[in-house]
Chains A and B, each alone.
Chain A
Amino acid sequence: MILGYVGKFLEVNLSTERIKEVKFDDAILKDYVGGRGLAAKILWNRLGSKWEKIDPLGSENVLLFLTGPLTGYFPGGRICVSGKSPQSNGIVGSTVGGEFGVELRCAGYDGIIITGEAEKPVYLFVKDSNFEVRDAKHIWGKDAKQTVKIITKECRELLKKRFPLYGEWKEPAILYIGPAGENKVRTAVVAAKWAHAAGYGGYGAVMGSKNLKAVAVKGTGPLPPVANMKEVERLIQVVNDNAYENELWRRWGTGAGGYEFGAKTSSEPVRNWQDEWHDEKSFGVDQFENRVWIKQSWSDFGCPTCCLKIAMVKNGKFKGAITDNPDYEMQAYLGPNLGIFSPEENVFLSSLTDDLGLCGIQTGNVMGFAAELFQRGILTKKDLDDIELRWGDVEAFANLAKKIAFREGIGDLLAGGTYRAALKIGKMKNVDVLQYAVQSKGISIGAHGIRSGKDYPEIISYACSVQGGDHTSTTGLPLSESELMEIFNDSGVYCNFNSFGIPRNTRFNFYKAVTGLELTREEWCNTKALRILQLQRAMLLLGGPDLKWNPKVHDDNPPRFYERLLSGPYKGKTADKAAVEEYKKRYYKAVGWDKNGIPKSENLRKLGLQDVDKALEKLR
C-alpha cells in the first residue's frame, strides 16, 4: 500500500442502497494519483466502452467525490468532483474548497463513488465507517443556507445521541445542491459552505438526477500516515511562508480583479464580452472592502492565504444579501458581464446564485448571452416571459436566475447552458446565435479573455482544453508549464492558489514526502499527466449522447474572440485566426494528436492506452 492514502473508497449504489468498500491497485494510484486523474481512470474503466450512450443525467452515470494523497497535507483543502459532464459530455475534474476532503480521509476513505439513483430525495451521512442513506424530502427545495443549517443540526443531533460521552460534536463537512441541481440545470454546482462551488462540469445536475441532495461526513481519525512527516511539516512551512509574503493577495484575494482585469489587462467580460475593458472605479476592491466585507479573512483547511472574504450588503434594497468576496469570477460574470458595476448589486446576485445552487460563472455567461440577444432584438420581452433584460438591471437578471434554477418558461431553455441554449434559440429564430455564445465545448469561458494578450490565458488556452472554458485548467506550450501542472494540483487535490510562487519542485517534493514515491516533473509531464490528458480528450471527443465535438470545428475560440476589442488601451486587438491555427498545430504535435486533433495511435500505445486507441479508431 502506498503511504498517504487511506487505501479505501466507499461505493454507494443509490438504486439498491448497497454499500461496499473499493480498493485500487498501487499501480493505478501511482499512475493516476487521485482526484482528476483517478476520476478519468475510474470513468474510463466503468463507462468507456459505452461512453457515447451514457446520459450524464441518467442513472448509469457515475458520480465521484475524490481526494488525493496531498489533501489535508498541502495547505488549502479541496475535494474533486467528477463524472460524465452534462456540459461537455466528457469529464471535468471540478474541485471545491473546504473541509470535506479532510473529513473524508479522517473518516477512513479516499473517496466516494456514487452509482444508480435514489427513488426519492436522500442525503448520505458518513461517520467514520458508519454510513447511512437518509431521507431528504424535508430539505428538497431548500436553498443553500437552509440546507447547510438543517443538515448540520440533524447530523450533530444524531452524533450526540449515538455518542453521548464524546462531548460536543463539530459540524460535519457537507457537499450539497440547491434547487438548480435538483432541477437538473446544467449550470448547477456542487456546493460547500454557502458560497464555495465546484462549478465547471455541471455536477450539481448529476447529483440532482440521482436524487442526492447532499453528502455529509464526519471523520474522527487522523490523516493517513506519510513517508516523512518532518519533511511534510517543512514543506507546509515553505508553502505558508510563500503565501505570507504576498500581502495584497492575502488581503484582497481575487477580489481586486473586478476592477483590475477590466482596467489594466482588458480581459474582463463586459456585456457578454462585447468588450473586455472598463475603468469603472466604483467597482474597485477598496469599495468592496470598505462597504461590504464583514470578514477580512475566511479560509479552508490549512490555508495560509485566506483569499476568501465574507460580504454582506448593509443597506438599501439588497440589505442582508450574504456571500463570499465575491471572488473575481463572480465579480466579473455577475457584474460587468451583465452591465452591473455596483458592489452591493454584485453581492446580491452572487448571494442569489449561491442560494439557488447555480454556477455564477456559467449562469452569468448564459444570462449575458440572453441579454445580448435581447439587445439585438433576437429575443423579445415576450420570449423572456415579460422580463426586459437590459444591461445593468440587476432585478431583471435576478428574476431570470430564478427562472433558470426552477426551469420556468425561458429559464427551462437557458438551463441547458449557453451552448445548448444557443442551438435551440438558433433553430427557433432561424438566426446564427452561436456567434454570441462565449464558451468552449459546452463550458462557459472563465472571466479571463485572450484578446488583449495581457492576461494569463493564451490564444489556444480554451480552444484546445480538455475542460473547455475552465479558466483553472488552460492549455498552452510548453506543456510542462501548462495544464499538466493543473492536472497535478487537481489529482493531488489541494488548492492551486497556494502553489503560486512556490519553488519549482515543491509540489513533487511534497508528493514524495507524503507517498515515499519519487516523481520528477519530467516523468509527470511525459507519461502520467499526459496519460490523464489523453483519457480526458478521448472521453470528450467520444461525447454523446446529445452532443459531439468535432475538433476541426470545435477546437476553436468562440467567434467573439475574433472580433476586435471596442475600447480601452488594447482597442482593436483580437485573436488572430492564422496564429491560432499555427499554435494549434504545434500544440497537437507536442501532445501527440494527429492533424485532426485525434490522439495518435502510436502515442496512446506508448502510454499503455490500447483500449482508448481502439475506441478512437472510428473517429480517425
Chain B
Amino acid sequence: MAKKKEPIWIARELSKCSGCRKCEIACSLFHEKRIWPEASRIRVFMLVPGADFPHFCAQCEDYPCVKSCPVNALSISNETGAVLVNTETCIACGQCINACPGRIPHMHPNGKYILICDLCNGDPQCVKVCREGGWNVLKKISRGDRPYKLYARTPEETTRDLTLKMYGEKAEEFL
C-alpha cells in the first residue's frame, strides 16, 4: 500500500545558488515535457550577477493567494500543502500575484493560467537536481508550524539582501 503523503516544505538556502538553473530545467521537463525556463514554477533570478537565487512558492501559513482568487481556481493540497491551480477555471487575472507578499506566481507564457509550485505532488524535481549536483540550496523537509511566509519575498527584496551579503558596502552600486 502506498504510504500516505504528508505535507512537505522545500527548505532553501538561497546564497548557495550557483545559478545553474537545473531546477528550471527539471521543473519544466516535469510539467511541460520541454525545457522551458519561463514556464518553470521555480525561476532563477539574477538581477545582479552573482546574486542568483530561485524564486518559488513558500506556501504561506495563511495562503493569501488562495483567498484572493475571484473564481476559486486555487486550492490547498491536503496531501502536500501545495497550492494547486485549476487551469480550467483560472482566468489569468493576476489577483494572486498582487496578493502574494513575494509576487511569486507568474503567468504561463501561453497567457492562459497562473503558475505556482505544486511541489510535484510531494516529490519535487528541483530538489533532486539541486542535491544531485551537491549545491544543496533546496531540501525537502516535513511541513511543521513555522513562519514560512518569511520566504515569500519579492525578487527585488531578495536581490538586495543577497547582494549585500555578497558584496557588502559595494552592493549599493549594483542595486
Contacts and interface: CB of A to CB of B under 8 A. Distances in A.
Interface string B102-133: 01111101000010000000000000000011
A233 B37 CA distance: 16
B20 A301 contact: yes
Q: Which of A164, A221, A240, A244 has the most CB of B within 10 A?
A: A221
A304 B131 CA distance: 12
B39 A222 contact: yes
Contacts of B173: 145-146
Contact of A194 (B16, B32, B43, B49): B49
A295 B49 CA distance: 11
Given A106-B37, A168-B55, A299-B19, A148 B107 contact: no
B151 to A, nearest CB: 15
B94 interface: yes
B11 interface: no
A304 B20 contact: yes
A166 B93 CA distance: 9
Interface string B140-167: 0000000000000011000000000011
Contacts of A299: 18-21
B126 to A, nearest CB: 14
A423 B94 CA distance: 64
A168 B19 contact: no
B43 A302 contact: no
Contacts of B18: 295, 297-299, 303, 306
B29 interface: yes
Contact of B36 (A148, A165, A221): A221
A170 interface: yes
Contact of B135 (A171, A223, A240, A297): A297
B46 interface: yes
A294 interface: yes
A548 interface: no
A166 B107 contact: yes
B25 A168 contact: no
Given A165-B93, A312-B167, A222 B32 contact: yes
Interface in A102-157: 102, 106, 145-146, 148-149, 152, 156
Given A222-B39, A244-B132, A302-B20, A294 B103 contact: no
Q: Which of B19, B47, B135, B175 has the most CB of A within 10 A?
A: B19
Interface string B5-17: 0000000000010
B33 interface: yes
Interface in B34-85: 34-39, 43-50, 52, 55
Interface string A165-194: 111101100000000000000000000011
A166 B167 contact: no
Nearest to B21: A301
B53 to A, nearest CB: 11
A229 interface: yes
Given A170-B43, A304-B20, A322-B167, A310 B106 contact: no
A161 to B, nearest CB: 14
Contacts of A220: 38, 109
A244 B134 contact: yes
A223 B103 contact: no
Nearest to B97: A167
Contact of A193 (B49, B92, B175): B49
A233 B106 CA distance: 26
A58 interface: no
A478 B165 CA distance: 50
Nearest to B48: A149
A603 to B, nearest CB: 40
A119 B37 CA distance: 36
Given A165-B93, A167-B103, A168-B55, A233 B29 contact: yes
Contacts of A306: 18, 20
B49 A223 contact: no
Nearest to B134: A244
B170 A322 contact: yes
B133 A152 contact: no
Nearest to B44: A170
Contacts of B94: 164-167
Interface in A295-317: 295, 297-304, 306, 310, 312
Given A193-B49, A223-B35, A229-B33, A167 B106 contact: yes
Contacts of B52: 298
Given A223-B34, A302-B22, A312-B167, 8 more contacts: A106-B36, A156-B47, A219-B38, A244-B134, A298-B19, A299-B21, A302-B20, A312-B166
The 4 closest A-B pairs by CB, nearest first: A167-B106, A222-B36, A299-B20, A220-B109
21 contacts: A106-B38, A152-B47, A164-B94, A167-B106, A167-B114, A168-B45, A168-B155, A171-B47, A222-B32, A222-B34, A222-B39, A297-B16, A297-B135, A298-B18, A299-B19, A301-B21, A302-B20, A302-B22, A304-B20, A306-B18, A320-B169
Interface of B: 16, 18-22, 25, 28-29, 32-39, 43-50, 52, 55, 92-94, 97, 103-107, 109, 114, 132-135, 154-155, 166-170, 173-175
